[in-house]
Amino acid sequence: MLEIEQLSKTFQIHILEGKVIQALKNVSFQVAAGEFLGISGPSGIGKSTLLKCIYQTYLSNGGRILYDSRRWGRIDLAQAAHQVILELRQTEIGYVSQFLQVLPRVSALDLVAEPLLLKNGLPRGEARKMAAGFLERLFIPANLFGAYPVTFSGGEQQRLNLARAVIWKPRLLLLDEPTASLDQQTIGIVVDILKELKEQGTTLIGIFHHDDLMTSIMDRVYPLSREN
Ligand code: ADP
Ligand code: MG
């Protein structure tokens, strides 16, 4: 489903007189449809940068990111027009980081229901019901459903973020340490949710720092090293 060939990404740091940082150098790997690939490696090695290049949050400097899209067949995500990327984000590719992008004055329940309305076209009542089920499962107390997530704890925000990313069942899901501030019991639930998603056909690429529970459901781990 995804074939990464010789991917490179450099950053030019203007405040350091244009010093160039090579975050990724000639990274190549493949991911089959329905596979769960882990990305490992020490802090600062380029794991987040890699996911951001796939999602085109960052434009890469060299190499190809060949993706078998449902809509257009095989396309290079490194070169695809922004409009194409936006549509893929709307219909096929999901991304979740450890930080919640909070929308002002949207309740927790609506935040999680929103992808079902916008991406899957579900009626509001049904979307809210599904969202409530997800929140309950992730131990978000019902009295918080109507509250604004800006005031939530880090762990609560992280769970909302995850719920929002998985509820619409993307075809490819990119996960950047989404369990970083969760306790073991909640991580166990997240593992179950991702396992179900995988069984339903979603391809997953994820970074999970020191997370043995998650490793147990991964098919393979790709280690990023100084070589790339
Ligand atoms: P990891 O996720 O493996 O900890 P990152 O991908 O976040 O590592 O970062 C890899 C390297 O790229 C680091 O040296 C980091 O400082 C640099 N980097 C990442 N994003 C940017 C950016 N937007 N601007 C400049 N440098 C960046
Ligand atoms: Mg990172």
98-112 pLDDT per residue, tens: 787 777 789 999 999
Q: How confident is the model at residue 164 (pLDDT cuts 50, 70, 90)?
A: very high
Crossing angle of helices 124-137 and 108-118, in 10° steps, is: 130
Whether 47 is in the pocket of ligand 1, judged by its Cβ within 6 Å, is yes
Q: How confident is the model at residue 13 (pLDDT cuts 50, 70, 90)?
A: confident
Ligand number nearest to the C-alpha of 19? 1
Identify the pLDDT of residue 206.
Answer: 96
Average pLDDT over residues 2-11: 97
Average pLDDT over residues 57-64: 96
Structure tokens at 27: 């990274």
CATH fold group of domain 1-92+203-228: Rossmann fold (3.40.50)
Identify the pLDDT of residue 8.
Answer: 97
Protein residue closest via CA to atom 23 of ligand 1: 11
| 82 has pLDDT over 80 | yes
Identify the pLDDT of residue 89.
Answer: 96
Identify the pLDDT of residue 102.
Answer: 72
Rounded to two decimals, the pTM is: 0.94
CA of 88 relative to ligand 2 center, distance in Å: 23
Q: Which atom of ligand 1 is nearest to the CA of 9?
A: 12
Lowest mean pLDDT, pick from 4-8, 206-210, 222-226: 206-210
Ligand number nearest to the C-alpha of 39? 1
Q: How confident is the model at residue 228 (pLDDT cuts 50, 70, 90)?
A: low
